[in-house]
Chain A
Amino acid sequence: MNEPIIELKHIKNYLGNSWVHNDLNLSVTRGEILAIVGGSGAGKSTLLRTMLMLQTPTAGTIKVFGQEITPNSTTALHYLHQHSGVLFQHNALFSSFTLLENVAFPLKEHTQLTQQTINQLALLKILAAGLTVEDANKYPAELSGGMQKRAALARAIALDPELLFLDEPTAGLDPQSAAAFDELVLNLQKTLELTIVMVTHDIDTLWQVTNRVAFLGEGRVLAIAPIAELVTINNPLLQAYFTGPRGRAIEKIYSGKKN
């Protein structure tokens, strides 16, 4: 299965008086975990928003599930939004809903199931995301940061999407929770056969979970390769990103493990 699930061609985005993306090309293969990295302001989150059509690109074409997506292609957009889940950077849980209602919400909107079935399925998703039944009646404000991330993940996978977008999934988590979250994502990806596109700054995550990593810089994809290869590429921007003290330390751990 090597068909591309997302194809971006010649994407240009003009934001805040500068070109965030300038002729960017990227394709995501079905079943892979792709990470998008790059310095702050390199346009990672913008790229994610563009893929979801939360933001219309200035120029270029986007194909998701083989269909071209434009702001006016309602059926294609509807299909995209029903078959993808998004974990937003700040979780975007509905604050007036309990956790269970948050996860049940997409099921309620998009299926004709009975309330009982919906609740059962939602509870399964909550458990799958590593939360407990006791948390189900809590409001987002009563959950800790890590639990909110898990709750948001549970909502993102509520409709069993084929495509999952994660925007900085481990940001703000303690190392232990972050590692557990990485493992959770990997597990879900395996069992649910997900394709995952994530934006992350967490170099640990890059080594642990991703199949390929796309490095954004100068408005385009500077390089796309498995992380072990990516760190060896001789480009000043990439080197600056990966050979800082943090990057080097982590690289040593993982490359040592593999040899």
Chain B
Amino acid sequence: MTKKLLEMNNQTDVQQLICQGSWTLANLNQLKKDYDQINWNNLKTIAIDGNAIYKMDTSGAWILQKILKQLNQQQTKFNLAHFHNEHLLLLKMIAAQETHLKEIPQPKRFNWLHRLGQRSYDQLQFIQAFLAFIGELSLIALRVIRNPRAIRWRLLLNIIETSGYQALPIIALLSFMIGVVLTYQMGLQLRTYGANIFIVDLLGFSVFREFGPLLTAIIIAGRTGSAFAAQIGTMVLNEEVDALRTLGIAPAELLVLPKLFGLIIVMPLLSMWANLFGLLGGMLMAKGMLGVTFYDFFERFAQVVSARSLWIGLIKTPIFALLIASIGCFQGMQVSGGADSVGRHTTRSVVQITFCIIITDALFSILFTRLGL
């Protein structure tokens, strides 16, 4: 049984409260337990003896202050005896601060109507800010295009390397897999009708028109769009973006335009690359599963899949590039506060980019159907 840190001694003629041991944070729970065990009622005068406290920190002093406050309230007379000087000093400091202690003001809570209004207003503000960003970007882009010497070639090439060249392996692998999966699923159906050779038509159209460009866009959104947001966001926090402004350089020109142009160049190329590997995966699967030889595959491919399908797929990609770069960079620019905000805006950038890409793709589908393409 450990010694009590706080004990009432009723043996002497004046009741004595004995404080002893280490009154520190580590013992605070024990101290509170001892405090609760003492019957604080019916006390007239007590002497509080602190001679045996060999160590006290703020938490210990806080408990002592609590005791003194309680004794004061129930009008018990007390005197502090044999306390060490430094402990008294600490007690004085805590007592002084305790007077300032009060309930933390809770932030106001609003009803659902208020919150809905706030959300709507925020969304409107967001749309306005995005439009302003696009406007500024367009103006700068027009200025730069008229004067090609102002294009920052190094940055542009850097983007082409990091977002394009370095993404080749992952895009190749994933589109190959998609090609395999598509062929497998469609092949199961075709085989029942003995229509094995039609796998070429299905694969050619679906990869060229949809899967190649869409898959590329989604990979680049996750890989590059988020990186843009995080990079620019961190620069905003570090006041680097403000520094650029004060140096008379528009941040959009240095940070956004090269990314935008770089992606516009890279996206069609990457889509083409994805098309190739998607077809390759499908072709291998067609041979293994459906018995369509490479020769048959190519012959049929040349007959049925027109170059138009390829163009219809590729024409969408610069639009996707525009979406990825502008939303990624815009979310980066919206960062404020701390590290938390960088994470939030990075997430938001990927979600919004993916959302916009799929919506745009659907719109394109409708448009092409109307045009009879």
Are A140 and B338 interface neighbours, CB within 8 A? Answer: yes
In the complex, whether B139 has a CB less than 8 A from a CB of chain A is no
Q: Inside 8 A of A141's CB, which chain B residues have their CB?
A: 336-338
> Smallest CB–CB gap between B180 and chain A, Å?
43
| A182 nearest CB across to chain B (Å) | 17
| Chain A residues within an 8 Å CB radius of B98 | 124
| B167 within 8 A of partner (CB) | no
A70 located at the interface, meaning its Cβ lies under 8 Å from any Cβ of chain B in the complex: no
Interface pair A127/B90, CB less than 8 Å apart: no
Whether the Cβ atoms of A123 and B62 lie closer than 8 Å is no
Interface residues as binary, A133-147 with B (CB distance below 8 Å gives 1, 0 otherwise): 110110111000000
Is the Cβ of A95 less than 8 Å from the Cβ of B29?
A: no
Q: Does B362 contact A (CB under 8 A)?
A: no
Which of B25, B28, B101 has its CB near the most chain A CB atoms (within 10 A)?
B25
Stretch from A39-47, A190-198, A240-248 forming part of the interface with B: A190-198
Residues of A within 8 A of B26 (CB): 111
Give residues of chain A (106-140) contacting chain B, Cβ–Cβ below 8 Å.
107, 111-113, 117, 119-121, 123-125, 127-128, 132-134, 136-137, 139-140
- CB pair A191–B62 under 8 Å, yes or no, is no
In the complex, the number of residue pairs spanning A and B with C-beta atoms less than 8 Å apart equals 75
Taking the complex as formed, is B93 at the interface, i.e. its CB lies under 8 A from any CB of chain A? Answer: yes
Take A95-B340, A160-B24, A160-B57 as given contacts and tell me if A113 and B29 are in contact as well, using a CB distance cutoff of 8 Å: yes
| Contact bitstring B65-105, A, C-beta under 8 A = 1, else 0 | 00000000000000000000010011001100110111111
Cβ-neighbour of B59 out of A121, A128, A132 (below 8 A): A121
Are B102 and A96 in contact (CB-based, < 8 A)? no
Are the CB atoms of B57 and A192 closer together than 8 Å?
yes
> Interface size for chain B: under 10, 10 to 19, 20 to 34, or 35 or more residues?
20 to 34
**Smallest beta-carbon distance B232→chain A, Å:** 18
Is B58 a contact of A139 with CB atoms below 8 Å? no
Q: Tell me the B92-139 residues at the A interface (CB within 8 Å).
A: 93-94, 97-98, 100-107
A191 to B341, CA, bound (A): 39
A111 to B336, CA, bound (A): 34
Main DSSP-derived SS at the A contact region: helix
Asked if A100 is at the interface (CB within 8 A of a chain B CB), the reply is yes
With a cutoff of 8 Å between Cβ atoms, the chain B residues found around residue A187 in the complex are 93
> What DSSP secondary structure best describes chain B's contact surface?
helix
State A224–B144 Cα separation when bound (angstroms).
60
Choose from B57, B90, B107 the contact partner of A137 (Cβ within 8 Å). Answer: B107
Contact of B58 among A100, A137, A192 (CB under 8 A): A192
With both chains docked as a complex, state the minimum distance between the C-beta of A57 and any C-beta of chain B, in angstroms: 29
Distance in angstroms from B27 CB to nearest chain A CB is 10
Q: Is A159 an interface residue (CB 8 A)?
A: yes
Minimum-distance CB pairs A-B, first 8: A95-B338, A160-B57, A96-B340, A127-B97, A141-B337, A191-B93, A191-B90, A136-B104
A-B contact pairs, 21 of them (CB 8 A): A96-B338, A111-B26, A111-B28, A117-B32, A119-B104, A120-B62, A121-B58, A121-B62, A123-B104, A124-B58, A124-B98, A128-B97, A132-B100, A133-B103, A136-B104, A141-B336, A160-B24, A160-B25, A190-B89, A191-B93, A193-B86
Not counting A124-B58, A125-B58, a sample of 6 additional A-B residue pairs whose C-beta atoms are within 8 angstroms of each other reads A117-B32, A124-B62, A128-B97, A133-B103, A141-B338, A191-B89
Binding site for A on B (CB under 8 A): 24-26, 28-29, 32, 57-59, 62, 86, 89-90, 93-94, 97-98, 100-107, 336-341
